[in-house]
Amino acid sequence: MILMSMMTLIIIIISNLMMMLASILSKKSFKDREKCSPFECGFDPKSSARNPFSLHFFLITVIFLIFDVEIALIFPMIYTIKMVNIIIWTKTSLFFMMMLLIGLYHEWNQNMLNWTN
């Protein structure tokens, strides 16, 4: 037991020494790394915050997120087919799919899915 605890202590000490050595010898500067990197949205943080962005791109993103959530709601329907009454499951599934198709048709009819206008 003492041998195992000694080996664990040695491994922890060696790994900590290696991490400290790597951080000391690395050529990267950590103080401005976050300020110089762009945000997740792709905007440059050093440029003006008042630059316009594409509203159409934003709307396409929102539509994608809505349909992504709807796909996540469809998956449990597949697993519950063996556990519930088939007639109720079919009616519920058809109603849900019909709502998705009506929403897709409305977005298509409003030209929301066309990238260029």
Expressed as residue numbers, the domain containing 99 is: 2-109
3-state secondary structure of 40: coil
Q: How far apart are CA 53 and CA 58, in angstroms?
A: 8
The DSSP symbol for 81 reads G
The count of domains in the chain is 1
Q: What confidence category does residue 36 fall into, taking pLDDT thresholds of 50, 70 and 90? A: low
Instruction: Give pLDDT tens digits for 75-95.
Output: 888 888 888 899 998 998 899
Q: What is the largest CA-CA distance in the chain?
A: 74
Report residue 79 CA to chain centroid gap.
24
DSSP state of 37: S
Asked if residue 6 is part of any domain, the answer here is yes
Say how far residue 95 (Cα) sits from the centre of its chain: 28
Does 94 fall in a domain? yes
Q: Does residue 44 form part of some domain? A: yes
114 within some domain: no
pTM for the whole structure? 0.48
